[in-house]
Every structure is written in C-alpha cells, then in structure tokens.
C-alpha cells in the first residue's frame, strides 16, 4: 500500500493501530521528495533530519496530525532552518525563531520534511520566479503549477505529503490548488496567527493550506487556529472543531455567482475558457442536486474591473513598506559599498529581481505624499465599496461560488492579454476573499484536456466551518475527490 496516497484520517488510523510508525511515513515522504525534485523542483530545502524527528516522537498518538509529514512554504520562519522566501536577498537567511504555525505543528507532532519554493517574496502567480528555478506542474511538466505557493501545491499534488502550508494575499493558495487538482483553503483573516510569516501585504495576507481532501484541510486548520499574543490581528478561537462539523448537510443553503464574471465577452472565449464555463454549469447542476440553491447576481462591471487595479495598488504599497527592512543592514544578503546608502543600493539592486523592483516602484509611487490621496486612499475606498457590496449579499446568501480560474494551468510561454475580461475578471476575482478577509476554498471540479480545474466558494467572515462543510458536500458530489497526479501519472 502507498501510505502517502491515503487521507490524514486513514494514516492516523494506521498509526494508532501500530501498523505503521511516523518513521514509515517520513521515509516514504523523503523518498518521493528526492524522486521528484529534479523534474518538478518543488523544494528549496529537503530536510533529511525529518527521519530523526520522526524517530524521536513519543508513542502517544494523541491527535490526527501526529506523525504526519508536511511541507512549508519558504516564507514561513523556521528556527535554525534556511528560510529564503525564494529570493536572492534572503538566500542565506536562517531565522532564530519559529512561526506560530510551526510551533503548533511541532506540538501536534507533525513532521516537517521540507521548505517549498514560492514566487519571489510571494509576489506573482506562476511559480517561475523563485531564486532556485521554476516549479513544474505534476500533471504536465510543460505547464506551470501557479503561485505563489507553487512548491507547496506541487509537493501535495505529487503525493509527497498530505498537506502543506501556504500564504494567500491575492489568490496564492487557491489558484495553484485549482491548477494542481487540489483543495486550497484560506480561513477568515486572523483565524491563524501570522507571526513568523514574512509579510507581503499585511491587510491582505492569510495563512492557509493545500491538501487533497476537504477533510484534511479541516484537520490542518483545527490544529492552527486560535488567538496568538504575538499577532495582534489574530482572532479569538471560535472553539469549534471543523473536522467534526463536516456532515455534508447543505440542503437549503443559498449561493450566488456574479453574472458579469461568467458572462464574459465572447471575444475572450477560446475552447479552454468555454470548457471551464461548461464545467461551472456542471457544478451548478450538482449544487442543485445537493439542494443548494444558486442564483446569478449582477454587480456593476465598473466595480469588478476595479478589482485587479485596486489589488495592485494596495498590495504594492504595503509590500514596499513591509520589505523596507531588506537593506543589507539588519536583514538581507549584504553587498559591499563605501557608505550606508551605497550598501543599501547595492544590496537591493543585487537582491531583488526585476519583477519585485517593478512592484516597489509602483508601491513607492502610490505612497508618495502627493499621490497618496488619489491613488492609495482611493484604492482603499474602492476596496471598502467592494467588501460592503459582498457583505450585503452575504446577508442573503451563504456564499459566493465561481470558477477558481479562467482555465487550466498555462504553459510556461503562454501570454495573457491583461486587458481582457477573461484576465481582469475570471482570473482575478479571488482577491475578493482577501479584500474582505472572507474564508475561501478551492476544490477540484473537473478535468479539461487532461488537466484539473477547480471551483471556488467564498463565504462570510467567521463562517469557516460552514464554508468547509459546503465544500465537503460538493467535493463528494462532483466526483473529483482526492484526484492525484504522480509525476505525470494521472490518477483520476
């Protein structure tokens, strides 16, 4: 039996019965990690020490994550373990403390087997900009897995670990989940402490996980949630055990989708987009089968077209400020210079790629005193209008349902026309979840041209358990539960 192909609950049962040990699982995980690394490049660091950690665990199988191997995006601080954020500027950085999520997973006796590649500093959505090279999609090596939690997604899609943590500022967990045939969940803003996560845009950053089953996501979030004194934005625990609340009873729930995002201009529709839209219709039918009512709601196109520019304005402003400490003085791979200014200039010139510099230029521009009112603060106002609109709709509906992406994972050389509706709307609506801090989940909904696609459900804040339960019911109904790509072997 391939233990790593099982669910967390199944592994847990075997551990409890003494049929396997944590070492069995960690060994298998490391074997797969090494086997796939040269082809898919999902890790910055593979931790051989995992075997010792697994060996040293006590025998008390006291929680579902005991002995379960996992991976972490490399923008999550791990004491004594290289943490690079996939950027040259941090290529030698070794944190002196653990992120709270890491402490919690240690307490649960889960076993960390590696740190995964991201788009540099979590900016980007392709998995192609990390300093250790591109990450390939386990379903097709010619395609990207998406990002920025690229390595975490590829690692789970390859069946190396049953779960990996990622961060999500615009869509960075939920988009690679769709491209990798995975479940990607980010709970309500503040549900999980961000202490030790390298900040990108603090008002939008969320922790979350990539798994192959909704139930596994519930186990992971159960282990991570709760108030943390070290993160003042963290929420008090809701004292629910999400995994125990998954009953699939969703009859009578009401969802809406945004008409303007689905009825996109026909000039944007190629075969692949059409297949994605057809799949969405299939999802809607399955919702009906489950007794979930879905209605189309109209939202002013002008507002929807503002989603992406608003995201770019706010996130670039925040990331420019948050990364101002990467100067080579306290943090960052210091480059020589005769003056402090020269050291900072040389360090930043050498340390960041062009894409990052471009975002810092945008961020500095919108934060300039004379531009703040017109650009940054107006973007914040637009964000508020969008969040108010969605929150108002959540009074009537239990959630928003939409295709997670506008198609299958793109090929590495594929270009998007960024002014088309397909891009501005279908590829970018997931930021709604970050604007409002709403819990949001992507699950696999179908296969198009041998590649997976996903559907997304976003719910009202604090309704994490309800969102998980709707996804849980739909996951069974759709029939793509636990699909897996193993080194290109489609296992649907």
Residues at the interface with ligand GLN (CB under 6 A): 122-125, 148, 168-172, 200, 315
Q: Which of 86, 172, 234, 445 is catalytic?
A: 172
| Beta carbon nearer to ligand GLN, 124 or 159 | 124
**What is the rounded CA–CA span in Å between residue 22 and residue 43?**
21
Shortest distance, position 183 Cβ to ligand GLN, whole Å: 17
Nearest alpha carbon to residue 270 among 175, 139, 407, 425 = 407
Q: Which two tokens stand for residue 329?
A: 């003085």
Q: Give 354's contacts (C-beta < 8 A, 6+ positions apart).
A: none
Read off φ and ψ for residue 434, nearest 5 degrees.
Answer: -80, -35
Shortest separation between residue 171's beta carbon and ligand GLN, angstroms: 5
d(CA 89, CA 274): 42
Nearer to ligand GLN, 198 or 397 (CB): 198
- 425 Cβ contact list (under 8 Å, min separation 6): 260, 261, 264, 304, 305, 307
- Which candidate, 41, 26, 18, places its Cα nearest to that of 487? 41
Q: Which helix (H) or strand (E) holds 111?
A: strand 111-116
User: Closest CB to ligand GLN among 171 and 260?
Assistant: 171
445 is annotated as an active-site residue:
no
Nearest approach, Cβ of residue 344 and ligand GLN (Å): 24
| Shortest Cβ 266–ligand GLN spacing (Å) | 26
Q: How far is the CB of 222 from ligand GLN (least distance, A)?
A: 23
Cβ neighbours of residue 205 closer than 8 Å, sequence gap 6 or more: 167, 168, 169, 194, 197, 199
**One of 26, 42, 73, 149 is an active-site residue; which one?**
73
CB neighbours (10 Å) of residue 236? 9
- Reported residue count of the chain is 492
Contact of 214 with 183, CB cutoff 8 Å: yes
Three-class SS of residue 446?
strand
Question: For residues 200 and 219, which CB has a smaller minimum distance to ligand GLN in the complex?
Answer: 200
Residue 249 appears among annotated catalytic residues: no
Nearer to ligand GLN, 312 or 343 (CB): 312
Q: Which of 148, 149, 243, 315 is catalytic?
A: 148
Query: What is the smallest separation between the CB atom of 446 and ligand GLN, expressed in angstroms?
Result: 23
Q: Does 234 participate in catalysis according to the annotation? A: no
Closer residue to ligand GLN in complex, CB, 122/264: 122
Beta-carbon neighbour count of residue 422 at 10 Å?
23
For residues 4 and 333, give the distance between their C-alpha atoms in angstroms, rounded to a whole number: 37
Q: Are 48 and 103 in contact (CB under 8 A)?
A: no
Active site residues: 73, 148, 172
């Amino acid at each position: 039996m391939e233990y790593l192909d099982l669910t967390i609950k199944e592994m847990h049962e075997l551990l409890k019965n003494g049929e396997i040990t944590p070492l069995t699982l960690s060994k298998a995980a490391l074997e797969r990690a090494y086997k796939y690394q040269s082809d898919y490049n999902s890790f910055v660091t593979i931790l051989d020490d995992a075997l010792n950690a697994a060996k040293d665990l006590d025998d008390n199988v006291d929680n579902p994550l005991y002995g379960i191997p996992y991976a972490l995006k490399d923008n999550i601080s791990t004491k004594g373990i290289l943490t690079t954020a996939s950027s040259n500027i941090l290529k030698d950085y070794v944190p002196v403390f653990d992120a709270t999520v890491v402490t919690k997973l240690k307490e649960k006796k889960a076993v960390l087997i590696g740190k995964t590649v991201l788009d540099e500093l979590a900016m980007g959505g392709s998995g192609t900009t990390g300093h250790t090279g591109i990450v390939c999609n386990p379903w097709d090596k010619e395609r990207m897995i998406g990002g920025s939690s690229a390595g975490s997604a590829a690692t789970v899609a390859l069946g190396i670990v049953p779960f990996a943590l990622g961060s999500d500022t615009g869509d960075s967990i939920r988009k690679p989940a769709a491209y990798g045939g995975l479940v990607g969940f980010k709970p309500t803003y503040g549900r999980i402490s961000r202490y030790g996560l390298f900040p990108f845009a603090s008002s939008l950053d969320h922790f979350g996980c990539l798994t192959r089953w909704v139930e596994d996501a519930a186990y992971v979030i159960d282990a991570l949630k709760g108030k943390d004194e070290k993160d003042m934005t963290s929420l008090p625990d809701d004292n629910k055990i999400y995994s125990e609340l998954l009953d699939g009873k969703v009859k009578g729930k009401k969802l809406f989708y945004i008409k303007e995002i689905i009825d996109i201009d026909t000039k944007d529709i190629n075969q692949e987009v059409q297949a994605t839209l057809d799949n969405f219709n299939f999802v809607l039918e399955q919702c009906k089968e489950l007794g979930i009512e879905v209605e189309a709601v109209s939202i002013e196109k002008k507002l929807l077209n503002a989603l992406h520019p608003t995201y770019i304005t706010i996130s670039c402003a925040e990331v420019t400020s948050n990364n101002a400490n990467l100067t080579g003085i306290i943090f960052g791979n210091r480059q020589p210079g005769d003056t402090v200014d020269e050291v900072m200039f040389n360090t930043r010139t050498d340390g960041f790629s062009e894409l990052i510099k471009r975002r810092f230029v945008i961020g500095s521009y919108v934060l300039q005193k004379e531009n703040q009112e017109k650009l940054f603060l107006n973007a914040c106002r637009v964000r508020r209008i969008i969040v108010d609109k969605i929150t108002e709709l959540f009074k009537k509906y239990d959630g928003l349902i939409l295709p997670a992406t506008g198609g299958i994972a793109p090929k590495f050389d594929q270009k998007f026309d960024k002014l088309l509706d397909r891009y501005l709307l279908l590829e970018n609506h997931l930021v709604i979840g970050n604007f409002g801090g709403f819990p949001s989940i992507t699950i696999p909904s179908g296969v198009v041209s041998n590649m997976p696609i996903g559907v997304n459900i976003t719910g009202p804040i604090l309704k994490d358990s309800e969102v998980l339960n709707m996804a849980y019911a739909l996951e069974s109904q759709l029939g793509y539960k636990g699909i897996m790509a193993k080194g290109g072997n489609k296992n649907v």
